């Protein structure tokens, strides 16, 4: 049974988003043939707190984008819940602010090529806020300024801008309705190294000065370390380790996280076919530390200190 479980939390609850036992299955298969369920999110529980940056790490196909989209309500869950805290009454915010926004990897394809960048950024303002034309022009200049672009960029078309400039514009568009969280999906991976650093600094300053929370999806451990307060490591639909970024990176407990960290130091990861299994640990057939029961029993979440947790029977 599919149901969209996104709904409001009681006022005063502290996390911005509370995800509990989120399961998401896609029906796959030929239109005329047998369909099967592909479990892409598997018992995900995660809080995203106000104003923090969480890096979501994990290899291709592990479900990072799907989880990001599910947070925004773009994918209905098969079971479990995703709850978004209501804005605090005292905060000086507009009533109709859209709290959750997403920024994608490829800024060129995320803008309509037939519109100027200014009209794309202004679109949410026109749709959701009853502003005069004058106020929209003013707000547009302010948004562009916040991401380090001068107001003249409003008149350019997407193909007239560099990748870095366009990604700044995409962030300006995400900021238009004063979100409390931006999910950034590989938002710097297509950019040159120097431009990448600028965008990362921009994200960090938006986070620090405006308390906007980010879920930053990346393959890049260096990016995660630079940017994030906490890191969640995904492996085929499950969060296998979650904790403060330095702790997880310096002392990983899950063998998959340890493998990622070793790969970074130049030791190649074990290349073996990954398995999505309903039973046991998904990583078991690739894991150098696997015990017999790892193939049969799903590891529950083990807490390690106050804020570090992992799913493993035989942690590092
Ligand atoms: N709409 C969909 N219908 C069916 N399967 C899907 C759909 N979207 C994603 N998937 C599958 O779900 C799994 C997770 O995909 P997802 O895009 O979330 O991975 P990811 O971690 O973001 O990978 P990448 O690092 O390559 O972006 C993949 O096996 C993918 O093929
Ligand atoms: Mg992805």
Question: By alpha-carbon position, which residue is closest to atom 24 of ligand 1?
Answer: 60
DSSP-based three-state secondary structure for 202? helix
Query: Ligand 1 mean position to 41 CA, how many Å?
Result: 10
Per DSSP, the residues of 227-287 read: H-SEEEEEETTEEEEEEEHHHHHHS--SHHHHHHHHHHTTPPPP-------SSS-TTGGG-
Whether ligand 1 lies within 6 angstroms of the CB of 60 is answered as yes
In DSSP terms, 37 is beta-bridged to: 27
Residue position matching structure tokens 């926004």: 101
Residue position matching structure tokens 């870095």: 164
Number of neighbouring beta carbons within 10 Å of residue 58: 24
Query: Ligand 1 mean position to 135 CA, how many Å?
Result: 40
Q: Per residue in 129-187, pLDDT tens?
A: 888 999 999 999 999 999 999 999 999 999 999 999 999 999 999 999 889 999 999 98
C-alpha distances (whole Å) from 45 to each of 21, 83, 239 are 5, 11, 8
User: Which ligand has the minimum distance to the alpha carbon of residue 40?
Assistant: 1
Contact predicate 215/181, CB 8 Å? yes
pTM, entire model: 0.90
Q: Which of 64, 67, 105, 190 has the most ligand 1 atoms within 8 A of CB, as the residue to mutate?
A: 64
- Cβ neighbours of residue 223 under 8 Å, at least 6 residues apart? 55, 188, 196, 200, 216
Identify which has the larger pLDDT, 30 or 59: 59
Per-residue confidence band for 112, with pLDDT thresholds at 50, 70 and 90: very high
Q: Which of 22, 42, 65 has the most ligand 1 atoms within 8 A of CB, as the residue to mutate?
A: 65
Q: How far apart are the first and last CA of the chain?
A: 38
């Amino acid at each position: 049974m599919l149901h969209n479980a996104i709904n409001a939390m009681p006022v005063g609850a502290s996390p911005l988003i509370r995800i509990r036992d989120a399961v998401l299955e896609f029906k796959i298969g030929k239109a005329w043939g047998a369909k099967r369920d592909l479990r892409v999110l598997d018992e995900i529980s995660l809080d995203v707190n106000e104003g923090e940056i969480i890096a979501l790490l994990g290899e291709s196909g592990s479900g990072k984008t799907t989880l990001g989209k599910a947070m925004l309500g773009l994918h209905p869950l098969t079971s479990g819940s995703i709850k978004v805290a209501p804005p605090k009454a005292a905060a000086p915010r507009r009533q109709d602010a859209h709290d959750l926004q997403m920024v994608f990897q490829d800024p060129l394809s995320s803008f309509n090529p037939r519109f100027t960048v200014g009209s794309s950024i202004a679109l949410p303002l026109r749709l959701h806020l009853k502003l005069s034309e004058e106020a929209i022009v003013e707000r547009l200049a302010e948004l562009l300024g916040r991401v380090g672009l001068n107001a003249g960029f409003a008149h350019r078309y997407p193909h007239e801008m560099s990748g870095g400039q366009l990604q700044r514009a995409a962030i300006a568009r995400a900021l238009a309705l004063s979100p409390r969280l931006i999910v950034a999906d590989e938002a710097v991976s297509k950019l040159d190294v120097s431009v990448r650093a600028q965008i990362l600094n921009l994200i960090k300053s938006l986070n620090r000065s405006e308390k906007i929370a980010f879920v930053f999806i990346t393959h890049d451990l260096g990016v995660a370390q630079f940017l994030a307060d906490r890191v969640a490591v995904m492996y085929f639909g499950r969060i296998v380790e979650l904790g403060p970024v330095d702790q997880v990176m310096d002392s990983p407990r899950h063998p998959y996280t340890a493998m990622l960290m070793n790969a970074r130091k130049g030791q190649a990861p074990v290349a073996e076919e990954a398995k999505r299994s309903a039973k046991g640990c998904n990583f078991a057939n690739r894991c150098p530390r696997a015990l017999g029961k790892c193939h049969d029993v799903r590891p529950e979440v083990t807490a390690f200190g106050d804020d570090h947790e992992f799913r493993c029977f035989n942690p590092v």
